[in-house]
Structure 1
């Protein structure tokens, strides 16, 4: 399906109906985990 960005396009196309709020939280948590190593 691809990476979800914070632009809103993913929310419209998402087959599971995941909200932009949850996509943004997932991206923040992923970035934080990546930086911690």
Structure 2
């Protein structure tokens, strides 16, 4: 990350707002089902 920031001039950025298309139910389901499997 440091290399990208310093050499390419990137900065830390966060979106000002959440995406309109964001599907909270799908996110919760993914966290409960997929994330524990990936986290191993």
Name the TM-score, length of structure 1 as normaliser: 0.33
Larger Rg: 2
Quick one: higher RCO (CA 8 Å, sep 6+), 1 or 2? Answer: 1
Could you tell me the TM-score, scaled by structure 2's length? 0.31
